[in-house]
A and B are shown apart, each in its own frame.
Chain A
Amino acid sequence: MSGHTVPADFSGHMLDLDEDEDLEVFSKNISLGDGNPMPNSPGSMVNQYRLEDDEEHQDANTKDLFITVDKPESHVTAIETFIMYRVTTKTTRGEFDSSEYEVRRRYQDFLWLRSRLEEIHPTLIVHPLPEKFVMKGMMDRFNNDFIETRRRALHRFLNKIAEHPILSFSEHFKVFLTAEDLTAHRKQGAGFLSRMGETMKAVANSVRGLKNRSEEFTEMQEYVEDFGYKISSLDRVAQRITKEQREYLDELKQYGPTYTQWAGFEEELGDPLKGMASCVELCSKETEEQVHHLSEVLIPTLHEYVLCTETLKAVMRRRDNIQAEFEAKNEALVSRKVDQETLQEEVDGLADRMEQANNALKGDWSYWKNGMRTDLKSAFISTAEKNVDYYEKCLAVWESFLMSQRVESSDQRDAEDVS
């Protein structure tokens, strides 16, 4: 266990901080606090962060960390009721004492993990968590659909972290996956007071504005804005399609009973009418599956990337702030004649920090873009496949109906010819 303990009377506030994900966290130094086993020299850190464009540290062959999130269970205490999820880890990594772990975690714990990761790696893109509240207001926290949707998103979150070449080696991640009781760990970590201080500084700096943001990061910023709009639009389109499909399905369900009713008082027509009833009912089922697929695959993926946009914006802001801090101190160095030595040291430190942050972002940017491309491509392909499958199944239903009618009529014709 690393880090310093926090005085008891701050513990309540610590909890609040964890709950409030809006609070942005700024680290002082990467090497502080979390006992991250990484070398301290800037040069080696730069190397650490520079990644090849298309290379993923963990592809299917080298994957050595397998995580599942399941078994949501209601947990009741005197104060509150909440859901606990089971997090199972299987690994061959040396850093882990055992090869299998099973722990119980609640949403707050995930929030804690994520904010820790962002704190330590301010310019890495940490995958977003599912939202705290549902905007529509119609579902409550204990609704089964809501819990299931959340469980899936949490599962994805942990796997995204596990796949990440840097984040997956975070000590906090390890603790999250392995510690029986997380609450003890959650109370440790960088003091919140210091974080408050950083926030104030950051605000002050951003007011001043950046001197010169490099072309690369400006482009990034613009892309993030545009991407944000597009992905939100897609999210809305997909939701709308799902809604229309559901309404279509509701009306479709009335077809079958009507044909059946008709078949009930017909003689010769009874058979073909029953056939129709059965066809529309089968197609109904297929439509239901199609809608289900949409809401399980495409919608969650699109939604995740809507949330990613916020993450990206936050990362860009943090990077800007790091640059702003450096520039501010640098200015001070240039204008002031006293304390030159100490100031110089600080400026150098901030310069290093900025370079690390920039490189971290650059590297993670292409990693993220690749991931985005893979995820969205796969979601769209899956949707298209499901739609083809849907139409193929319906086609088979109607073709077999047609066959049965043709057989019947040729039987009739034979019978008439004979008579």
Chain B
Amino acid sequence: MADFGSNEEVAVIGNTDLTSAESENNIINTMVERGTSLLNKMEINVAEAEKRTGKNTVNMQETYTVYLIETRPAENVPEGGTPAIPDSLWRRYSDFELLKTYLMVTYSYIVVPPLPEKRAEFVWHKLSADNLDPDFVERRRVGLENFLLRVASHPVLSNDKIFFHFLTEEKGWREAVLETGFQDKVDPRLKSLSAMLRVKNPDKRFTALKHYSDELNIVISQLLRVRARVADRLYGVYKVHGNYGRVFSEWSAIEKEMGDGLQSAGHHMDTYAASIDDILEEEEHYADQLKEYLFYTDAVRSVCRKHELIQYELEMAAQDLAHKKQQKEELVTGTVRVFSLKGMTSKLFGQESQEQRESRLAALEQSIQEGEEMVKEKNTECQDFVRTAWEDIERFKEQKNRDLREALISYAIMQISMCKKGIQVWSNAKECFNKM
């Protein structure tokens, strides 16, 4: 079971008769690290979702959903007392997106938690792919809450002022975010994740991590696709059994001895057919857990990309410095090893004067000094980045292993529950057949 510290109580896996709401809570609780900054001080909920209509940026009517964020100071409620009324405000999905983008740019060395999907993907046929479908909205609500809890429990992200503002003040938040000027920090090269930067000495750990992240992305996508197809088929199998119920019922009307047995067996077949709805709804939780880590791979890739960029700039700076030093050497010794226009013109039009040479040398020295500063700077930046990023990556890896293991375990629990239901129904049906 996941371990949060020696004294923490953890969710029970022995109890396999959890309701879906309970197991959902368990999943969330085990996924979120407790005992860290913000979450120590306040409880956060995404309590509700509501439909709104309004004019959008191009002055057209649109319908969208807003989510109610409730916060309340975390405190022990005395016996018989009522907890304090929470503060609340409404946010829409695009607000969350802005927050996430801000965090990713501002903390480029952190694996920022992902948002739930914008549009329903990996859908099996019965499930609606419509964004306004209540089931989708509900699952998104849970996903958004999960996002907030993850940020609030992150050792670095939870301290961010903009994040705090997002949770506590409805007005003026967008302006505040834009005021931070985070957009200026966005390097266009970061956007094109596929563009290759020719980095000579990448940190091998980051290369491996990027490779892992790509593989994980592929395998989870595949798993989600297979799951959707399997769910589709299983739905078909269960539902067709409902036909037994109907035919048995009709048949029992023309039989004397067999009638009762058939009729009651038919009812069990109906129960069996109906049971698949709950089963597959629970399985959506599992799919959502997988999806979270699918989207996490994007965050990981971002961090790796940022490292590449910093490393690249460092190498460029070092290269630039080396080049300048080379030039100085040539100037001093008089040899031209490297082609330069100045060199050529001086050859053509005669040697330059001592004065000219000296002023050029001085300029070059200045440039070299600047270059050395730059390299030093970039080096520090790089080292800091690698250190802090790797710290967060280790944290992320542990979290991932814990969470995914929990997900697999709860999947097993779901399967067990499904099997038990199946045993029950068919044992009952057999009893009825015996009475035929």
Which residues on the B side are within 8 Å of A213 (C-beta)? none
Q: Is A385 an interface residue (CB 8 A)?
A: yes
Which residues on the A side are within 8 Å of B237 (C-beta)? 241, 244-245, 248
CA of A416 to CA of B6, assembled, Å: 9
- One of B19-27, B277-285, B410-418 contacting the partner: B410-418
Evaluate contact between A384 and B247: CB separation under 8 angstroms.
Answer: no
Evaluate contact between A391 and B416: CB separation under 8 angstroms.
Answer: no
Q: Is B197 an interface residue (CB 8 A)?
A: no
Q: Is B29 an interface residue (CB 8 A)?
A: no
Evaluate contact between A259 and B415: CB separation under 8 angstroms.
Answer: no
B224-259 near A? 1/0 per residue, CB < 8 Å: 001101101110110011011001001100100110
Q: Report the minimum CB–CB distance from A206 to chain B (whole Å).
A: 26
A241-B237, A273-B408 known; A265+B215 contact, CB < 8 A = yes
Evaluate contact between A248 and B230: CB separation under 8 angstroms.
Answer: yes
Evaluate contact between B244 and A262: CB separation under 8 angstroms.
Answer: no
Chain B interface mostly? helix
Q: Is A132 an interface residue (CB 8 A)?
A: no
Q: Is A223 an interface residue (CB 8 A)?
A: yes
Q: Is B3 an interface residue (CB 8 A)?
A: yes
Q: Is B122 an interface residue (CB 8 A)?
A: no
Evaluate contact between B419 and A391: CB separation under 8 angstroms.
Answer: yes
Q: Is B427 an interface residue (CB 8 A)?
A: yes
Contact partner of A402 among B409, B430, B433, CB < 8 A?
A: B409
Evaluate contact between A240 and B430: CB separation under 8 angstroms.
Answer: no
Evaluate contact between B430 and A385: CB separation under 8 angstroms.
Answer: yes
Evaluate contact between A230 and B254: CB separation under 8 angstroms.
Answer: yes
Q: A-B contact count, CB below 8 Å?
A: 152
Evaluate contact between B243 and A237: CB separation under 8 angstroms.
Answer: yes
CA of A272 to CA of B408, assembled, Å: 7
Evaluate contact between A373 and B257: CB separation under 8 angstroms.
Answer: yes
CA of A225 to CA of B404, assembled, Å: 58
Contact partner of B265 among A233, A259, A380, CB < 8 A?
A: A380
Which residues on the A side are within 8 Å of B233 (C-beta)? 244, 247-248, 250-252
Which residues on the A side are within 8 Å of B250 (C-beta)? 230, 233
Q: Is A377 an interface residue (CB 8 A)?
A: yes
Q: Is A255 an interface residue (CB 8 A)?
A: yes
CA of A415 to CA of B45, assembled, Å: 35
Which residues on the A side are within 8 Å of B404 (C-beta)? 269, 272
CA of A323 to CA of B244, assembled, Å: 39
Q: Is B164 an interface residue (CB 8 A)?
A: no
Q: Is B63 an interface residue (CB 8 A)?
A: no
Which residues on the A side are within 8 Å of B234 (C-beta)? 248
Give the bracket for the number of chain A residues in contact with chain B.
35 or more
CA of A107 to CA of B434, assembled, Å: 36
Cβ < 8 Å to A, chain B residues 1-46: 1-3, 6, 13-14
Evaluate contact between A399 and B254: CB separation under 8 angstroms.
Answer: no
Q: Report the minimum CB–CB distance from A61 to chain B (whole Å).
A: 23
Evaluate contact between A409 and B247: CB separation under 8 angstroms.
Answer: no
Q: Is B389 an interface residue (CB 8 A)?
A: no
A230-B251, A252-B230, A406-B13 known; A388+B6 contact, CB < 8 A = no
Evaluate contact between B416 and A244: CB separation under 8 angstroms.
Answer: no
Which residues on the B side are within 8 Å of A395 (C-beta)? 416, 419-420, 423
Q: Is B401 an interface residue (CB 8 A)?
A: yes
Q: Is B436 an interface residue (CB 8 A)?
A: yes
A253-268 near B? 1/0 per residue, CB < 8 Å: 0110011011001001
Evaluate contact between A388 and B405: CB separation under 8 angstroms.
Answer: no
Q: Report the minimum CB–CB distance from A20 to chain B (whole Å).
A: 33
Q: Is B183 an interface residue (CB 8 A)?
A: no
CA of A377 to CA of B258, assembled, Å: 9
Q: Report the minimum CB–CB distance from B373 to chain A (whole Å).
A: 41
Contact partner of B229 among A251, A377, A405, CB < 8 A?
A: A251
Q: Is B336 an interface residue (CB 8 A)?
A: no
Which residues on the A side are within 8 Å of B226 (C-beta)? 251, 254-255, 258
Q: Report the minimum CB–CB distance from A253 to chain B (whole Å).
A: 10
Cβ < 8 Å to B, chain A residues 386-417: 387-388, 390-392, 394-395, 398-399, 401-402, 405-406, 409-410, 412-413, 416-417
Contact partner of A233 among B220, B247, B412, CB < 8 A?
A: B247
Q: Is A96 an interface residue (CB 8 A)?
A: no
Evaluate contact between B429 and A384: CB separation under 8 angstroms.
Answer: yes
Evaluate contact between B230 and A255: CB separation under 8 angstroms.
Answer: yes
A254-B226, A373-B257 known, 6 other contacts, Cβ within 8 Å: A233-B243, A245-B237, A258-B219, A265-B215, A272-B405, A398-B419
Q: Can you show 27 pairs from A to B with CB atoms below 8 A apart?
A: A227-B254, A233-B250, A237-B247, A248-B237, A252-B233, A262-B216, A262-B219, A265-B216, A269-B401, A272-B409, A279-B415, A373-B257, A373-B258, A376-B258, A377-B433, A380-B429, A381-B430, A387-B422, A387-B426, A388-B427, A390-B422, A391-B423, A394-B415, A402-B13, A405-B412, A406-B14, A409-B3
